[in-house]
Amino acid sequence: MPSPSYGVIFVGPPGCGKTTLLSAFGQYMTLLGRNVVSINLDPGNDNWEKVIQSISPEPSSIPSPPIPPRSYDVRSDVDLSSVMEAKSLGPNGGMVYAVNYMEKNIGGIIENIIKAAEGEEGEDKGNEGPVYYLFDCPGQVELFTHSTSVKNIIQELTKPLHKGGLLGCSLCGVSCLSCTQTTDVTSYISGCLVSTMVKVRLELGCVGVMTKMDMWGQQGGKDWGIKEYLEGGEMERLVDYLDVIGQADLGEEEEKDKVEYNSLTEDESAVRFGKVRDKVKSSRFHVRHKRLTLALCSLVDDFGLNGYLPVGVNDGGSVGTAVGECDKVNGVGEGLGGG
Ligand SMILES: Nc1nc2c(ncn2[C@@H]2O[C@H](COP(=O)(O)OP(=O)(O)OP(=O)(O)O)[C@@H](O)[C@H]2O)c(=O)[nH]1
Ligand SMILES: [Mg+2]
């Protein structure tokens, strides 16, 4: 009978940095002396081997000899490319099929996770404390919004042992949004909407993380200040920053102005901007678009689920702060190293 365990599950849109963040959490927690087991739940994760290598302690590190990182890769049970070939499906259909398969076979998958956590007989595990699982997820947002498979998988992982659960994992979600998604207001708003929806669907306590913060300023952070993007509150204020030029359905004369506006130099456009902006702002499209955006922003505000911790994977302090927040959410006690 396994003892209760802790875990973090990384979710967010494709390419936002989930797998890289898992690796950073793994390295940080290993240094704290935690009993880390990394779990790949992404049937299409081709970077998994690199992640496991990155979590391996340096040969010179303590304890010595180094403890091999323990892990489970769902691709040993269901692999995206094999599914696509066998079922003649594309990558998205293949992923939906693979995740449905995982849901139906979750009992066997959990047994394999437990075997990975127990390690080989007689193997030195270094730390005998509670197991800390790090779960990597696929990025396709439809898996969370249009299907209940991931939610049901999570329910099985978290089902308490005394209620017949196999793993009894106290789990915290880490909802990632890349700072590169703050280059324009509409991308940021849709990113916040998606992460709110995913948090609601997961039914888990979640920590929001803005990833790739070392890229802030190069690829992110226009219009609003860093504090506002991270706090994510009062989203309605963002509506004033909507890029009105280029979106409106203009009349013939305004279209001419718009073409002219786009070919102006920066100085000329500053003078002309006011005139064109006023026309565009009073266009029917803009008025409706603004009203819709306001409604969406207040929806996110009302749930109060927004807000991000800034994290760059090469900034150990930011990773440590995120680990500490996850510890608070899933109730990690003091005996589990640092935190
Ligand atoms: N500069 C920088 N790049 C990062 C950071 N985190 C991730 N990346 C890069 O972003 C890219 C995507 O990272 P992944 O960790 O694979 O993202 P993912 O969310 O797991 O992607 P999918 O599994 O495809 O959904 C990779 O090239 C990473 O090296 C970061 O903190 N800073
Ligand atoms: Mg990944």
Q: Looking at residue 271, what is its pLDDT? A: 54
- Verify that 331 and 284 share a domain, yes or no: no
How many CB atoms neighbour CB 195 within 10 A?
A: 28
Whole-model pTM: value is 0.83
| 48 and 94 co-located in one domain | yes
Same domain, 209 and 94: yes
Q: Cα-Cα-Cα-Cα dihedral of 244, 246, 249, 251, to 10°?
A: 100
Place of tokens 């909407």: 193
Please tell me the predicted confidence (pLDDT) of residue 259: 57
Domain boundaries, position 291: 238-297
**Pocket residue to mutate for ligand 1, from 9, 11, 19, most atoms within 8 A of Cβ:** 19
- The protein residues having their C-beta less than 5 angstroms from ligand 2 (an ion) are 18-19
What pLDDT score does 58 carry?
A: 53
Q: Examine the domain organization and report whether 22 and 52 are in the same domain.
A: yes
On whether both 285 and 315 belong to a single domain, the answer is: no
pLDDT given for residue 260 in this prediction: 57
pLDDT value for 334: 55
- Whether residues 187 and 146 share a domain: the answer is yes
Quick one: 186 and 242 in the same domain? no
Q: Indicate which CATH number applies to the domain containing 55.
A: 3.40.50.300
Say yes or no: 96 and 222 in one domain.
Answer: yes
Ligand 2 centroid–CA 285 distance in Å is 38
Statement to judge: residues 214 and 109 lie in one domain:
yes
pLDDT of residue 298: 79
Q: Is 16 in the pocket of ligand 1 (CB under 6 A)?
A: yes
User: 166 and 22, same structural domain?
Assistant: yes
Domains identified in the chain, total number: 2
Give the distance (Å) from ligand 1 centre to CA of residue 17: 3
Mean pLDDT by groups of 10 residues along the chain of 339 residues: 84 93 92 91 91 65 55 95 96 95 96 89 66 94 87 95 91 93 80 85 90 78 66 70 52 57 58 59 75 79 79 93 94 60
Check whether residue 220 and residue 262 sit in a common domain: no
312 lines ligand 1 (CB under 6 A): yes
Q: Which residue has the tokens 């066997």?
A: 108
The shares of helix, strand and coil residues in the chain, as percent rounded to the nearest 5, are: 55, 15, 35
DSSP letters for 184-251: SHHHHHHHHHHHHHHHHHHTS-EEEEEE-GGGBTTTB--SS-HHHHHH---GGGGGGG---TTTS---
* Residue 68: C-alpha distances to residues 3, 40, 58, 64, 115 (Å): 22, 16, 10, 11, 15
Confidence (pLDDT) at 172:
95
15 CB less than 6 Å from ligand 1?
yes
Q: Are residues 54 and 131 in the same domain?
A: yes
Which residues, 6 or more positions from 337, have their beta carbon under 8 angstroms from its beta carbon?
29, 32, 33, 34, 127, 129
Closest to 36 in 3D by CA, of 60, 3, 67: 67
